[in-house]
Each structure stands twice: as C-alpha cells, then as structure tokens.
Chain A
Amino acid sequence: MSDAVVPHRNAQVSRAGAGWFRRALDSDIFYSFRRSKLTMVAAAITVLFFLLAIFASWLAVQNPFDPAQLQLINSRISPLWTADGQSPFLLGTDEQGRDVFSAILYGMRISLAVGIAGVIFAGALGIGLGLIAGYFGGVADSVIMRIADVQLTFPAILIALLVNGVAKSLLGNRLDEMSTLAVLVIAIGLSFWVQYARTVRGSVMVEKNKDYVAAAQLIGLPAPKIMLRHVLPNTMGPILVIATINLALAIITEATLSFLGAGMPDTMPSLGTLIRIGNNYLFAGEWWIVAFPGIALAGLILSINLLGDWLRDALNPKLR
C-alpha cells in the first residue's frame, strides 16, 4: 500500500446524527477494506465458510457423526458430476458411506470451533500474564518472560503434541470426543500464548507511566481494575491482528494434530481427520475423499491469512 494516496476520511465521522453503522462505513478501516479487492474476496470466502459451518445441520444431507445414518451400501461413491456419481452425494462418499460434503461442513464446524476457542484461551492466558508482567515488573516479569523465551524457541506443533500425549496418558480410556476437543483447545492455547504476553507486556510498560494510570492509582483503584479497565483497552489494536493471524495458525495446528492421529477421532472428524482418512484411499484412485477436505482447509486458511495481513496494514498508522 502506498503511503500518500489514501485521503483522510475522519472529517466526515463527526457528521451529526450518524449512528454507529454510519460511522463504521465512514471509518478509515472500512475505506481501506473497500480499496482492496483481494481482501473483499477473502472476507467473502471467510464469511461463507463460517455460515456453512454454522448452518451445517440444515445444509448437510446426513449427520456424519451419527453411525446410524451411515450405510455401507453408499460407500466409495464418486462425486456427482462423474460417471458413477449418485444423488444426493454431491462430493461423493468415503469408505464408511459418509457423505464427503456433509463431513466437510461438520468438520469445518469443529475446526473453526477449536481454532476460535484455542485463540481465546491463548489470548486470555497471554493477555493475563502479559498484564501481570508489564504492570508489576520485577520477579513476576522475569519469571514469566523467561518461560516465554524458552517456549518461543520450540515450535508450537511440538508443544501441542506433547500436551496431547500427556493428556491422553493421564485420561486414558476416559478420553471421549468432547474431552478431546477440550484437550485440543488447551494444547493450542498453551502453544500460542507467548506472542500475546510479549505484545501486551510491551504496551503496558509504555502505558503505565502515563498520567491517567497515575491518576487512577491516586484515587485508589485496585490494581486489577486499573489493568483491565484502563490499561488493557489501550493495548487492544495489535492484539486483534495477532488474534486473526493466530486463528489461521490454530486451525492449521488442529488440522495437523488430527492428521497425525493425535486430534479428533474418526467418529467425530475435523477437517484434519478427514484428510488423514482420505489419504489412505489416495492410491486406490479415490481422490475425492482427501481432495475436497484439503481444498476446504486450504481455502479457509488462505482467506483468514489474507484478512489478517490486511488488518495488520490497515491498523498500522505508519502505512496510512
């Protein structure tokens, strides 16, 4: 993006009687959004994926998690437009007679849910620790940041795999689908908190020396209230960018764990699980079992990444 050509639009914001919607349409961010075609396409695809996932139960022809609805008679049917295609299986079926299209919708729901919950968990953990480290400094700061430094040298996927293995070992046979979901969210949260903590700590250290914090301290507000109500809102911009980019990373991590067989089980597949199952039939020529979940995952990640890139540029005042 070039720095000079974007005119300042703030002048119109103060127009009397404009509601929040009007203000949103007039904002700098929306303006830069409209200027980038690629971003608009990415946003449209992301919204489409979210809608597909939310309304999965209405759009799918079967519930792929319910074994009673799967019939072996319908196994390994190729997509509708090929010679052996059969209605209503738009994208074909897999070994167990599971409709690929329905499985993708339900799988995307899981992938998105785990991704979002993982990002929220990582964000809460990271923001909390970052606030404490930045606001109090001293021992708390050095302990938290030391841990962060050490963890940052290890790739997230390794940490997530370890958390997963330990949870499996502790829970053993009690690990059902729902607790697997929880374990995945925790594994992702524990692997991605560092970036939030570092960013928040940095901004808090700048903010806490400003007068408004001193004023809040002077009137005797408790430290947690100052941190959450006064300091935190001023550090949220970069957090939003990290969260968007992290959402793509979290979805990749969940898919990778499931692909490696350390994530969602075959009975309740996410996109990664579907790709792992489909990968076994690649050599038999049944390409659709792996291809469509793969395309869905790639499209989802790519469009979220593009949105994240755009948001980073749009919120960066140096680029305006």
Chain B
Amino acid sequence: MLAFTLRRVLQAIGVMLAVGVIAFAMFRFAGDPVSQIVSIDTSAAERASIRKSLGLDDPVLVQFAHYFINAVQFKFGISYQFRLPVSSLLMERLPATMELAICATLFAMVFGILMGVYSALRRDTVLAKLFQAISLIGISLPTFLIGILLIYLFAVTLGWLPSFGRGEVVKLGWWSTGLLTVSGLKALIMPAITLGLFQMTLIMRLVRAEMLEVLRTDYIRFARARGLTTRAIHFGHALKNTLVPVITVAGLQFGSVIAFSIITETVFQWPGMGLLFVQAVQNVDIPIMAAYLLMVSLIFVTINLVVDILYTVVDPRLRATVGRAA
C-alpha cells in the first residue's frame, strides 16, 4: 500500500515536472518578453539592460531553475497586459472559478442522478424519452451555444436573470464569495447550468446504465424474494451500489469542469481564471498562459492522485491486483 502510494506520488511529480518544462518553454521561447514590455521607441541599450534585469541572458538551465523555484512558491512573473504579478491576478480570480465549478458539479450530480434513476426505473415513459433527448443535446451542442440560448431566454426575453458578471460579492478574508447575496446567487444560476450540463448528461447516462445493470443482479432478485418493498430495493440496495462509480466520475471530472469554465466564463463574462486565460491568449500574455497551465495541471494531478489512492483504500480487490503487478 505504502509502495503504491509512493509510486503514484512520484509519478504525479514527474507529470508536474513535464508540464513545468512546457510552461517554462512557453514562458521563455514563445515571443520576446522584452518587446512586450517596452514601447517601440525604446533604445537598444535600454532593451539590453531590461534583458539583463529580467535574467534573460543567463544560461537556459539557470533560467529554468529560477522559473521552477519561483513557480513552487507560486511566483509566475509579471503579466504583460496588467503589469501585475500573475499569482495575485490568479488568486484574485480563483474564488469566482471555484464557486462556479463547485455549483456546476453539484447541479450536475443532483439532476444527473435524479434523471438517471428515473429513466432507469420508468424506461418507457415520455419523460424518460425526453431525458434521453436532453442528454443527446447536452452532448452534441457546444457549451457556448447553450449559454447564448439561456441568455436569450432568461436575460433578453424574460429579463429574470442577469446576463453577465458575478453580482455583488462579499469579502471573507481574501476569498470573495457571491453566495451570500441575492444578486450573486441570481448571477450564478445560468453559468452553473451551462457549465454543468455536459457533466449532468454524463452522470445521467452513467446512473441509468449502472442502475439497469444492478437491477438484473442476483442480490436484487433475492431482495425481491425476501419481500422487501420496491422503494427499499431501488433506493436502499440498487442506488447505493451505483453511486461509487458516479462519485468517482464526478470527482475525476472536476478538473475538466474547471478547464471548461474557460468557455462558460467568456460567455457570461464571469470574472474567473478562465476569462483571464482567454484574454491572455487573445493578447499573447504568455506568463498568465504558462501559470494557468501549471495551476490547472496541479489541480488535475492532485485530483487523479487522491482518487487513485482513495480507490485502493475503498476497494481491497484493487490493492491485491496492484500488489501482484508490482
């Protein structure tokens, strides 16, 4: 068990190092940082002195070491556009993205499980067919189209919900939250649905398939034979056993939710990390792009690591096979 955990941690560190090399290569070689900072009429001598002060004349390996040491301390350099430290920009935007991603995941899980269970138990009803159609649309339509559609319906036509921004936010220490004000909550509804819709269809399909599978097993038949009520069988026995893979998928998907929030945040002008990243791509702000890549990779790698280790804790069978393979 310890050996397995250790190996997975080492693997995760290896992945982070590889991503770090890519981020550094982008930071250093894609575009000339000096020409982004100075204006056109800066003299060559001044450019040279800026180069020196930025450490761009050092050997590449030294520069990588510098970059790496700084990155570990969450120092990602200065943004070209804002002339501010990238880390403080990201930290300022982190709460918005995290709140959006968490709410989207909760929405996806609650509705995905409900719709999945319903369409497994009442397979041939109209409502179940409707859910299937929604899931096809959820998988086929690009996220930004769904967002635009929602804006047109609920903001332009009905005027119920705001179409952009985060509403009023309350400061809790360094964390700013929109969950405590009415306008903040209202602003959250549409982005959370847009972002969560794909995950919701995924979870719904998974729950439906798992439920149908479980309902065919012997222990369900045995439970029926024991005379348990249908409700107890469906929710006490069947649903409980479908939830393990569902929670795993939702957990693993959390990283993609954060990455996909790039699109949702652009549609709704949500002031999170994703919007910052898109603006960085448009304005070729390499330090922000590199830092965002590192941040998202860190979140991905951490989630994967935790899920992998939790799996072996929860399921002893896996431990046995892993032990044999090693």
Residues of A within 8 A of B (CB): 150, 153-155, 157-158, 161-162, 164-166, 168-170, 172, 248, 252, 255-256, 259-262, 275, 279, 282-283, 285, 287, 290, 294, 297-298, 301-302, 305
Contacts and interface: CB of A to CB of B under 8 A. Distances in A.
Interface string B254-273: 01100110110011000000
Pick the 9 closest A-B CB pairs, nearest first: A169-B31, A165-B281, A169-B30, A169-B284, A166-B30, A155-B259, A302-B140, A158-B259, A252-B142
B321 interface: no
Q: Which of B136, B260, B281, B293 has the most CB of A within 10 A?
A: B281
A256 to B, nearest CB: 6
B296 interface: yes
Contact of A155 (B31, B151, B260, B304): B260
Given A158-B262, A252-B142, A164 B281 contact: yes
State the main secondary structure of chain A at its contact with B. Answer: helix
Nearest to A302: B140
B30 A282 contact: no
B281 A168 contact: yes
29 contacts: A150-B19, A154-B259, A154-B300, A157-B259, A157-B263, A161-B277, A161-B281, A165-B30, A166-B30, A168-B284, A169-B284, A169-B286, A248-B140, A252-B142, A256-B142, A259-B144, A260-B266, A260-B281, A275-B144, A275-B148, A279-B148, A283-B156, A283-B163, A285-B156, A294-B145, A294-B148, A294-B149, A297-B145, A305-B136
Contact of A172 (B31, B156, B293): B31
A301 B140 CA distance: 6
A252 B145 CA distance: 10
Q: Which of A172, A262, A279 has the most CB of B within 10 A?
A: A279
B278 A287 contact: no
Interface of B: 15, 18-19, 26, 30-31, 136-137, 139-145, 148-149, 151-152, 156, 163, 255-256, 259-260, 262-263, 266-267, 277-278, 280-282, 284, 286, 289, 293, 296-297, 300-301, 304
Nearest to A259: B144
Given A165-B286, A172-B31, A260 B280 contact: no
Contacts of B304: 153
B255 A153 contact: yes
A283 B148 CA distance: 11
Contacts of B281: 161-162, 164-165, 168, 260, 262
Contact of B152 (A158, A255, A282): A282
Nearest to B275: A260
